[in-house]
A = this chain, B = another copy of it.
């Protein structure tokens, strides 16, 4: 099976998640800058989650550029990733509305950790299907960032019981680390022979 419809469905879900979070933003009480200032923790949490969903969309996009076909198992591994991403508006609202209290901040980190593991599982499912010599397997290589992130999330979860700002700083740090798009994949894809006209995926 080709990858188009799985890409379209994932695009749809991530696009909706990113925008649905806006609905959770409560309209500020009052019409002063102070009212907007009170809404700041909620707005900052929104920015962080927007960036995380943007990163996932971006890397998902790169990963599927290096994928030629999907099967039933890959479809479910993808749905598993989308499940954890779909909880981000829920954990974002809980954390933001409670000004980064310990348990909601830990729950936010657990969701990020589960999404990272689900992404890793999806990547493994694809490379196992397409062989160790495949484009994706070569491009991903040792995948250092993918292995460090779960450790950082775990430390963020622990930190949220000591100091909430430290925990959020760790989550923001991982986001910054990933903001740089996955050059490995882009380079490897660029080295492929150019596809002829009529092929919708390179």
Contacts and interface: CB of A to CB of B under 8 A. Distances in A.
Interface stretch (A1-9, A144-152, A168-176): A1-9
Contact of A25 (B33, B47, B90): B90
A59 to B, nearest CB: 10
A12 B1 contact: no
B202 A1 contact: yes
A89 to B, nearest CB: 5
Contacts of A103: 31-33, 35-36
A177 interface: no
A120 interface: no
A107 B27 contact: no
A188 interface: no
A173 B186 CA distance: 42
Interface of A: 1-2, 4-9, 11-20, 22-25, 27-28, 31-33, 35-36, 47, 50, 54, 57-58, 61-62, 65, 71-73, 75-76, 79, 82-83, 86-87, 89-90, 93-94, 97-98, 101-104, 107, 179-183, 186, 189, 196-202
Given A31-B104, A47-B83, A62-B72, 17 more contacts: A1-B186, A2-B200, A8-B8, A11-B12, A12-B15, A13-B18, A22-B89, A23-B23, A27-B97, A28-B94, A31-B102, A32-B103, A33-B103, A54-B76, A58-B72, A196-B197, A198-B199
